[in-house]
């Protein structure tokens, strides 16, 4: 069968790649065309457009790049029509994918959504569009099943795909050493925009912890020159495309909100979550978003497991104080580790990719 998959960021590329591998395992004649990244391409898909050309975050940023986004939508529709897929699969990335889903429904194209838009966080009424336009919703967070049930929409929980990824990584084989000193990991995100805002703030605390080696996780989609310019004279090094190797060795981490907070938790690394965006975008988001937390760890656990430093709170003094706790407050660290263990248990089953692939194949068989 022919599968057209659309992912728009680094995490979607990771989970999309494992989905593609699962599709090839279960369908020996699978032909996959995608929007995504290097991992999806390496998994055997024909890559149409890379996510580094798609990742615009925040209300103001989206408006600024609206002509590019509209051109991408037009191109995507044309490419889908020419490819004639048996099923169109969306991986997260809701602003773009929900537009394509509405159009695809009108064209009579079967659709599956893997990794639900966070409609439980804001604009709940988007569920009505999902019910109308998406033939099969595959969710990865346990509480999403009950959320959709409230809207009388049946979804399938397949487990969280990070469990299978990190379970494979947590092998007894020692990691490749990155430093002779104990390590503090800095994960400033994958988009140029967020790296430029958050990394300079994170680097302000380096001078307070000379006994540690600060290592910045370089996103594969961004050039080394971007990081070198931001790091400047700070005593920090880069780890290119080695985020998991870095997390295996880190004593603590400063992490941009997003999937990376969950990855850090599943590796058992004490962390502080960092967020700072365009002030107007943040103000609008505060008006619209209803959830109590920005970190996936806290959202899933429904309590403040990890400290969230947001907007003005993301500053040199707050980071210094929190990092000191993450390194030296034994009771604080032990409680966080206990919560991490419960988080792993809550996310449940492995093999999310295989389950998702089976559901997608069943949809069009």
Tell me the pLDDT tens digit for each residue of 121-139.
777 889 999 999 999 999 9
* 165 pLDDT above the threshold of 60: yes
Taking alpha carbons only, the member of 80, 142, 156 closest to residue 112 is 156
- The residues with which 271 forms a beta bridge, in sequence order, are 253
Domain boundaries, the chain: 2-159+349-364, 168-347
Taking alpha carbons only, the member of 6, 4, 19 closest to residue 356 is 19
Which 8-state DSSP code applies to residue 181?
S
CB 306 within 8 A of CB 271: yes
In CATH, the architecture of 168-347 is 3-Layer(aba) Sandwich (3.40)
322 vs 53 pLDDT, higher one? 322
What is the percent of the chain with per-residue pLDDT over 70, rounded to a whole number?
92
259 vs 13 pLDDT, higher one? 13
Domain 2-159+349-364 has CATH 3.40.50.2000: yes
pTM of the model: 0.82
Cα(132)–Cα(101) distance, integer angstroms:
9
Name the average pLDDT for the chain: 91
CB 355 within 8 A of CB 15: no
Q: What is the pLDDT of residues 224-255, one digit of tens each?
A: 999 999 999 999 999 998 999 999 999 999 99
Q: DSSP of 82-145, one letter per residue?
A: HH--SEEEEES-HHHHHHHHHHHHHHT--EEEES---TTTS-TTHHHHHHHH-SEEEE-STHHH
Q: What is the pLDDT, as a whole number, of residue 62?
A: 55
Cα 326 from chain centroid (whole Å): 23
* 120 pLDDT above the threshold of 90: no
Taking alpha carbons only, the member of 235, 179, 227 closest to residue 199 is 227
């Amino acid at each position: 069968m022919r599968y057209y998959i659309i992912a728009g960021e680094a995490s979607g590329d990771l989970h999309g790649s494992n989905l593609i591998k699962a599709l090839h395992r279960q369908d020996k004649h699978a032909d996959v065309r995608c929007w995504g990244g290097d991992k999806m391409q390496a998994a055997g898909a024909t890559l149409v457009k890379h996510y580094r050309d798609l990742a615009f975050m925040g209300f103001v940023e989206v408006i600024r790049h609206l002509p590019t986004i509209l051109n991408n939508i037009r191109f995507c529709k044309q490419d889908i029509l020419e490819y004639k897929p048996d099923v169109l699969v969306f991986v997260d990335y809701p602003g773009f994918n929900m537009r394509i889903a509405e159009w695809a429904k009108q064209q009579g194209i079967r659709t599956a959504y893997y990794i639900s838009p966070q409609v439980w966080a804001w604009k709940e009424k988007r569920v009505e569009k999902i019910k109308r336009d998406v033939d099969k919703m595959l969710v990865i967070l346990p509480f999403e099943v009950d959320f959709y049930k409230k809207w009388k929409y049946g979804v399938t929980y397949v487990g969280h795909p990070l469990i299978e990824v990190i379970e494979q990584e947590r092998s007894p084989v020692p990691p490749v050493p990155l430093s002779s000193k104990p390590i503090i990991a800095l994960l400033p995100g994958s988009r140029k925009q967020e790296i430029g805002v958050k990394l300079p703030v994170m680097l302000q605390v380096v001078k307070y912890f000379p006994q540690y080696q600060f290592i910045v996780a370089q996103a594969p989609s961004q050039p080394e020159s971007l990081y070198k310019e931001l790091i400047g004279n700070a005593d920090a090094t880069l780890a290119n495309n080695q985020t998991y190797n870095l997390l295996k060795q880190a004593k603590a981490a400063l992490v941009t909100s997003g999937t990376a907070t969950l990855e850090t938790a599943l590796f058992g690394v004490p962390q502080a979550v960092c967020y700072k965006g365009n002030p107007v975008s943040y103000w609008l988001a505060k008006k619209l978003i209803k959830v109590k937390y920005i970190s996936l760890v806290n959202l899933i656990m429904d309590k403040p497991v990890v400290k969230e430093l947001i907007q003005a709170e993301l500053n040199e003094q707050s980071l210094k104080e929190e990092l000191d706790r993450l390194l030296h407050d034994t009771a604080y660290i032990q409680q966080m580790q206990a919560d991490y263990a419960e988080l792993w248990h809550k996310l449940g089953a492995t093999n999310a990719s295989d389950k998702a692939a089976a559901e997608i194949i069943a949809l069009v068989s």
